[in-house]
Amino acid sequence: MNYISIKNNQTILLSDIPESNYESFFDMNFGLISGHPARHCVNYFGYKAGNNVKLICCIADDTTHEILVSTCLVHKTHELESFSKELLCFEKFEREIHENFGINYIDHLWLKPVRYANNRDDKSQTIANYPFFSIDSEELHEVGVGPIHAGIIEPGHFRFICNGEQILHLEIQLGYQHRGIEQLFINNKKLLQRATLAEDIAGDTVVGHGVTFAHLWESMCGYEAQLDTEFSRTLALELERIAVHVGDLSGACTDIAYQLGSAVFGRLRTPIINFLQEWCGNRIAKGLIRPGRNQFPFTQELGERLKHVLDVFEPEFNEMSEKLFSLSSALSRFERTGLVSNEDATKIGVVGMVARMTNLNRDIRSSHPFSLYSELAHQPILKRHGDVYSRVQIRRKEVEQSLQYIRTLIANIPAPTENKSITDAPKPSSFCLSLVEGWRGEICHCALTDKKGDLMIYKIKDPSFHNWLALALCVRNNEISDFPICNKSFNLSYSGHDL
Amino acid sequence: MLENLKIVFHQGKQYIPDPTTVEVPGIFRGRPVISLEKVDETELIALCPTNAITNQPIQIDLGKCTFCGECAMRFPEKISFTKEYKIASNERERLIITEGEDKAIEVNPDTVRKEIHRVFGKSLKLRQVSAGGDNSCEMELNAANNVQFDISRYGIDFVASPRHADGIVITGPITKNMAEAVQICYDAIPEPKIIVLVGTDAISGGLFADSSAIDRSFLDKYHVDLYIPGNPAHPLSIVNGLLDLTRKLK
């Protein structure tokens, strides 16, 4: 077959990726995904190679723990057959390729702009004239929300088409947060600049993106992180998961006007993020994760301190969760609201929590393990209803699981080792892919180096990139008043999507 | 009912009685102090990811600093970060820390616009706009209003409509794609109104200062009333900054 099979965090030579023409590239990747729910596309992107555009497709196989990478060369004047016509999970990847390079697809469902990237092909398209769908009818009305929303959150535009109170269609238009971060990864040459940039991709997933970059960079430089470093990374990932999940439970309570839950979960987030500050000096762990270094070694004293924090946190969290999940007024708002079926989830190609709440087992911690997750023998938590209730409940269960993992981890804190720094530069003419399961789902970074070993392409994919479409579809036939709770139950990233 | 009361009872007292004097836990990186120690200045300057450090004399611009702490880690004898979270000022120059000087960063009451204390001294409603912010400052602004920091006890609230607001709080470096929305929002706020920048990205562009995807021309047009540095700004920096701006008397 015309692909190369690699493992998570493996660096290969660019020339090792088999290249074929678009037809066989298309047939092969189509065959890999179609009818195989255990395989999904983790990244599909293009970059300019002279007058042509080179496409790289990365498909992860969750059962064999490998990633299948293939490539092909196309030209702007080629009219290509789209994956999206049959495989919805390619929808946004192909729109991105179209937006950035002007590649045309003959049968794509809707080639609309993804984020109005600064280096887009057609600059006449501006964010002010996004082509929304509309239905001409006297009975329907449209509701436009954003880019600035009512609360203190990031910007994005939601356009609803409603029949009375009922949502018929929702279109989500993003791009307002586009900062050109992928280009900055190339422009900024210092490692520290890149490591801090990775932490700024999405401020709610500082550890997730930080660890992804660190793994990728270390792999490209042929460096293997020591046990204590990977320990810190695993611990930080799980702390971040608890902090955000608890915050989301608070948000869910706010959106159903349950004041007690909102206040209690809201304040329960504080001891966790304050512990991160005790550890690394920053409440959301900026500065904690660095490639080739255990920046803030986790000491026995910190372990004792964390144990105490969790001992206080756990009963208070359990008490509030039990109350929330036995409250009929809360459950009636959660149950059967914003449904995503397992079939739709597979089609859309959702990842992370949003996949697992429809009984779709996608979790990089078990399928492509990294850091200490093999030792923890992670078992993903699955729910099957696919409604707001499942998404809220999965957070409670994952918090409980993370608490247990953290207790296991701190029972056996590895002795700090002398930092051995990265001595080598990244390998020239290479490709590397790194996957990490952040709290929101699978994060994928890909990097390509040129002949001199300089970074040539840096491609970031936040889990939100897959999941936004699921939010847009799940609110159909729901009342518009249920939109906030649906939105909160997904809690997707704008900046991670817009880059 | 009894269960609810039990939960309420178990919370104890969560609010911070006085957010202007409380101590932050752990090793918080707040206002840095620079000693007069001689170090390799070229190396020190080259280290900083956002070029916030300059020499003759050695200075750190907190409007550019990402608080990564790398300089203090490499040159502990030269730079140390204190736990001082009061780092907001109404004057941009006051965010610059100079070697050998260990003085507080303050709001200068002499240069605060006259109407601010009179009009907003007891009630301030703000409209927050994220313009390329990474959601970290946004989370901390939300935290400033939780039951612990509880900024609304001072009559400071975040409102949904700019028509109800007395000012705009901007986070993020202001992207090209968001520039128009920021302008429309600002125009919709009735006079008198204030502009507050929260976080390094908003104050100087931070890591994104050189990106061609941002457009900061909005800030060239208006007077900024308060700068609150941080990456993200700590809720205590936010609470104290806003209080100092609106409450401090000449």
Q: What angle do CA A299, A301, A307 make, to 5 degrees?
A: 105
Average of pLDDT values for B75-101?
92
Task: Give the CA angle between residues A174, A440, A355 to the nearest 5°.
Answer: 95
The pLDDT of residue A387: 93
The ipTM assigned to this model is: 0.91
Q: How far apart are the C-alpha atoms of A410 and A295, rounded to whole Å?
A: 18
Structure tokens at A379: 């078992």
In chain A, list all ranges with CATH 3.30.460.80: 4-114
The dihedral region occupied by B125, where left means phi > 0, alpha psi between -120 and 50, and beta the remainder, is beta
What is the dihedral sign for C-alpha B230, B231, B237, B243? positive
Strand A19-20 and strand A66-75: pairing? parallel
Q: What is the pLDDT of residue A254?
A: 92
Report cis status (omega within 30 of 0) of the bond before A147: yes
Which among A147, A154, A263 has the least Cβ separation from residue B138? A154
At A424 the pLDDT is 80
Which pLDDT belongs to residue B250? 53
**Closest Cα partner for A171 from A139, A149, A142, A136?**
A142
Mutation target among B29, B65, B74, B134 for the A interface, most CBs of A within 10 A: B134
Residues of A in Cβ contact (< 8 Å) with B28: 277, 281-282
Which of A179, A259, A269 has the most B C-beta neighbours within 10 Å, making it the best mutation to test the interface with B? Answer: A179
pLDDT along chain A (499 residues), means of 10: 89 92 92 89 92 93 93 89 91 93 90 90 87 90 90 92 93 94 93 93 94 95 91 95 95 93 93 94 93 91 94 94 93 92 91 93 92 91 92 95 94 86 87 95 94 93 94 93 92 94
Q: Please, which pLDDT band fits residue B141 given cuts at 50, 70 and 90? A: very high
Residue A404 CB: number of other CB atoms within 10 A?
13
Say how far apart CA A178 and CA A160 lie, in whole Å: 23
CB contact under 8 A, A247 and B139: yes
Partners of B49 on chain A (C-beta within 8 Å) are 188, 190, 192-193, 196
A147 touches B at CB < 8 Å: yes
**Residue B242 to residues A272, B19, B140, B197: CA-CA distances in angstroms?**
26, 12, 14, 11
Mean pLDDT, residues B190-209 taken together: 94
The closest of A40, A73, A45 to A59, measured between CA atoms, is A40
**Closest approach of B136 to chain A, Cα-based (Å):** 4
CA gap A237, A443 in Å, rounded: 12
B135 to A204: CB separation less than 8 angstroms, yes or no: yes
Residue (of B135, B158, B137, B133) closest to B233 by Cα position: B137
Residue from the list A118, A153, A178 with its beta carbon closest to the beta carbon of B130: A153
Please tell me the predicted confidence (pLDDT) of residue A264.
93
Q: What angle do CA B33, B34, B37 make, to 5 degrees?
A: 145
- pLDDT of A417: 85
* Of A106, A24, A29, A73, residue with least CA distance to A349: A29
The confidence score (pLDDT) of residue B169 equals: 95
Residue A196: Cβ within 10 Å count = 25
Decide if A262 contacts A303 (C-beta within 8 A).
no
A306 touches chain B (CB under 8 A): no
pLDDT of A1: 67
Count of CA atoms in the C-beta half-sphere (13 A) of B97: 28
* Cis upstream peptide for B192 (omega within 30°): yes
Q: Give backbone dihedrals phi and psi of B205, rounded to 5 degrees, phi first.
A: 95, -20
- pLDDT surpassing 90 at residue B2: no
| Inter-residue contact B168 to B226 (CB < 8 Å) | no
pLDDT at B11: 86
CB A261 within 8 A of CB A253: yes
Structural tokens at position A305: 């301190």
The CATH number assigned to the domain with range A4-114 reads 3.30.460.80
- Best A200, A309, A421, A494 member to test B by mutation, with max B CBs in 10 Å, is A200
A contact test, residue of B1, B23, B83, B135 with most A CBs within 10 A: B135
Pairwise CA distance, residues B51 & A188, whole Å:
12
Of all residues in chain B, the percent with pLDDT exceeding 90 is 73
Question: What average pLDDT does the segment B153-171 reach?
Answer: 93
What pLDDT score was predicted for residue A425? 87
- pLDDT of residue B193 exceeding 60, the answer is yes
Per residue in B209-248, pLDDT (tens digit) is 999 999 999 999 999 999 999 999 999 999 999 999 998 6
What separation in angstroms does the CA of B57 have from each of A312, B43, B69, B74, B106?
A: 48, 15, 20, 19, 21
Cross-chain Cβ contact A247/B134 below 8 Å? no
Q: How many residues does chain B have?
A: 250
Q: Select the CATH number that applies to the domain covering A181-498 from these four: 3.40.50.720, 1.10.645.10, 3.40.190.10, 3.40.50.300.
A: 1.10.645.10
Q: Set out the domains of chain B in order of their start, with CATH numbers.
A: 114-247 (3.40.50.12280)
- Tokens describing residue A384: 């099957």
Residues in chain B closer than 8 A to A147 (CB atoms): 178, 181
d(CA B128, CA A121): 32
- Partner B contacted by A180 (CB < 8 A): yes
CATH 1.10.645.10 region(s) of chain A?
181-498
Q: Which residues of chain A does B1 touch, with a Cβ-Cβ cutoff of 8 Å? A: none
- Residue A130, both tokens: 């996004």
pLDDT, residue A285, reads 93
Residues of chain B with Cβ-Cβ distance to A287 below 8 Å are 29, 67-69
Q: Give the pLDDT of residue A123.
A: 86
Q: Which residues in chain A touch residue B143, judged by CB atoms under 8 angstroms apart?
A: 270
pLDDT at position A455, please? 93
Q: How many residues does chain A have?
A: 499
The number of helices, as runs of H, and strands, as runs of E, in chain A is 17, 14
In total, the C-beta contacts within 8 angstroms joining chain A to chain B are: 188
**Cα–Cα–Cα angle for B64, B65, B68, rounded to 5 degrees:** 150
Establish if A50 touches chain B: CB-CB under 8 angstroms.
no
Nearest CA in chain A to B11: A264
pLDDT reported for residue A260:
92
How many whole angstroms separate alpha carbon B220 and alpha carbon A62?
51
